[in-house]
Chains A and B, each alone.
Chain A
Amino acid sequence: MIGYYVKRLLSALFTLFLIATLTFFMMRAIPGGPFTREKPLPPQIIAQLNAKYNLDDPVIVQYFSYMKGIATFDLGPSFKELGLTVNDLIKQGFPGSMKVGFVAVMFILLFGIPLGIISALKQNKAIDHVVMVMATIGVTVPSFVVATLYIYFISSKISWIPITGLSNPLAYIGPAIALSGYSLSYVARLTRSSMLEVLRQDYVRTARANGLSEWRVIGKHALKNALIPVITYVGPMIAAILTGSFVVERIFSINGIGRYFVESVNNRDYTVIIGMTVFYSALYIVMVLLVDIGYSLIDPRIKLGKRSGD
């Protein structure tokens, strides 16, 4: 088992290394360099900037100093907002993004899974149809539509729900709904189909034949098996939610990294874009790694990197 964790960790580090290298050379590939603007800067200023950011060094030297920066969690300066570093932006935005992401993940787990189970147990009954219609709508409506509809119909009509920012607990509802909508619906659908699949399994019949109460048959024997594929999805999903809230943060004006990321995209602030990409990727990889380790503790069948779902 220890070997498995070490192997996973090494492969995560290797992936990170590849990402860092790839992004570095992407940055080099930008035509005209990072200081290209619509109104060209005077050449001496560009020269000063180049000197300041070591852009005159040979590529290989730059590469090593960049990699050293990443290894020491220093993602470099912003080229547009002089004086600010990528680290500063992350520090400013991280709490907001995490808070909204956490609420969204809670929404998904607390509503998605139970709704899926209820739907499976009441298969083809009215409640199943209602849940599944909602879930289908949920996976088909993009988050920016959900967010704008929420603002238009709810928070702009009800005065005590804030429209933007995270000033009070109620302000989290909109962003969390918009952020979780797709995954919540997907988890509900996945839980339902997984539960239905498991309920057809022979071992569930064995549990019934052994005279166990229906509560135990479903709550113990069916549930644990039904949740395994759900967890497989939920792992990367949590990572994606915590890192993927660009649009929602922008619409709700939340000071999160997603918003800064979109702003840096619009400003073509290349170092910030790349620094944030590295940061996001690292966060994502670490999250997936953590979830994988947790997962291997739940499913007894996982042995040395062999995953039942693969």
Chain B
Amino acid sequence: MRNLDFEFVDSSKKASKEQTRRSLTYWKDAWRRLKKNKLAMIGLVGVTLIILFGVVGPWFMPYSYSDQDNRFTNIPPRFEIYAIADDGYVFLSSQYNLILVSEKGELLDKLVRTNMDAINKVYTYSYNGEDIEVDFKNRLLEDDGGIDLKVTYKGVTSEYPTKTVSNKTFVWGSDNLGRDMLTRVMYGARISLTVAFVATIVNLIIGVTYGAISGLEGGLVDDIMMRIVDVINSIPLVLYVILLMVLIDNRGLWTIIITLGSVYWVGMARLVRGQVLGLKEQEYVLAARTIGVSKAKIISKHLIPNTMGPIIVAMTMMIPSAVFTEAFLSFIGLGVSAPMASWGTLANDALAGLSTYPYQLFTPSLAIAFTMLSFNFLGDGLRSALDPRLRKG
């Protein structure tokens, strides 16, 4: 009896057993690897959100970045409201303005202050002809006995707030001119991101051109160009940004963009030069040349895919650092001029009132940190996804 196990198999069946790994193009492979990287995807979502926030956000806001409502200055995002009989609710702002609010937290009006008794720490406000007395002694005491304010209206005193509500009129509160913080931060995103993106593109153009010329020309040209880069590199660049900003002395958006763009291209130039130098000597490029592949094809098949990766990674990392530098400049008073505001300007404006209105600093700071974090995550992910040395698995 023949044992069927010992029949020879034909080659087609063997071929199906042999494993092959699907081959993917560079970008497909990179995308596949990026998708696997959780942090990078979080970064990508974050970047998308922050761009939407800045671009689309303001369309949905009822205010513009310069709309002021001087009745409602420095109103925090959340506050405690006190019932005044059946006539509604009030809230005392840090500037001792008594604001009439709805139960849900909509700001209705600022009540007129009719009397200030600074000695007894009792202020009187008028509402529909009736007096509201607000006694804030306890607020200033170390031991307040659990009581913050005493609000007396029509003879009824409420010692405890009815509840804490979120500000429905200005979701992130308002600034010292009664402008909506959320809207300001959204416009801040526009400005900060515009500066960052455009400055990065300016950097990219200068850096890639400079680096490519230096790398391709080689020889003396390369030597001189790289000496210049070395000199620029041995200078603390932020000083020159400051110096240029001071000298140009025009607080337009374009001044910042041009200044940042003209100074920070050195890293990109070095990167591109290194890439070009390395690639033009690569065996596979030489091999392609020897078998007569056209120059255009060498550039598109070999040089571009291998240089694009590092350039994209460098760009992703440059954007947050441009946001950072812009915030820094605004913070020392060299930012865009009022009433426009970048995140750095908003943070700087908030600095004076930090102890009383910390929320004014938190929101732009959080926006900066969120942006930096998102771009960093994305950049790290791109770096490992696009690095040809890591291409496996």
Contacts and interface: CB of A to CB of B under 8 A. Distances in A.
A–B in direct contact per CB < 8 Å: yes
Interface residues of B, number: 35
B239 A277 contact: yes
Nearest to A243: B236
A247 B354 contact: no
13 contacts: A26-B247, A140-B369, A140-B372, A140-B373, A142-B324, A142-B368, A145-B368, A145-B369, A148-B354, A240-B236, A244-B236, A270-B246, A280-B239
B234 interface: yes
Nearest to A274: B243
Contacts of B348: 144
B355 A156 contact: yes
Interface of A: 11-12, 14-15, 18-19, 23, 26, 29-31, 136-137, 139-142, 144-145, 148-149, 151-152, 156, 239-240, 243-244, 246-247, 250-251, 262, 265-266, 268, 270, 273-274, 277, 280-281, 284-285, 288
Given A141-B369, A243-B236, A273 B243 contact: yes
A189 to B, nearest CB: 10
Most chain B CB neighbours (cut-off 10 Å) among A140, A281, A288? A140
Interface stretch (B66-74, B298-306, B329-337): B329-337
Nearest to B361: A148
Interface in B346-393: 347-348, 351, 354-355, 358, 361, 365, 368-369, 372-373, 376-377
Given A156-B355, A265-B333, 13 more contacts: A26-B243, A136-B373, A136-B376, A137-B369, A140-B320, A141-B369, A151-B354, A152-B361, A243-B236, A262-B332, A262-B333, A266-B333, A273-B242
B243 A247 contact: no
Contacts of B369: 137, 140-142, 145
B381 to A, nearest CB: 13
A239 B239 CA distance: 13
Top 4 A-B pairs, shortest CB-CB distance:
A140-B372, A145-B365, A140-B373, A284-B236
Contact of A30 (B247, B372, B373): B247
Contacts, number: 103
B235 interface: yes
B355 A152 contact: yes
Contacts of A274: 243
Given A19-B235, A144-B347, A284-B235, A247 B376 contact: no
B234 A285 contact: yes
B368 A23 contact: no
B327 interface: yes
Nearest to A12: B234
Contacts of B333: 262, 265-266
A268 B246 contact: yes
A240 B240 CA distance: 14
Contacts of B368: 141-142, 145
B332 A246 contact: yes
A277 B247 contact: no
Nearest to A264: B246
B217 interface: no
A140 B242 CA distance: 22
B231 interface: yes
Contacts of B372: 139-142
B355 A265 contact: no
Nearest to B323: A142
Nearest to A23: B243
A150 to B, nearest CB: 11
Nearest to B228: A18
Given A144-B331, A240-B236, A152 B231 contact: no
A251 B348 CA distance: 10
Contacts of B361: 145, 148, 152
Given A145-B365, A148-B354, A265-B246, A288 B324 contact: no
A30 B332 CA distance: 20
A144 B234 contact: no
Nearest to A147: B351
Nearest to B231: A15
Given A140-B369, A141-B369, A288 B243 contact: no
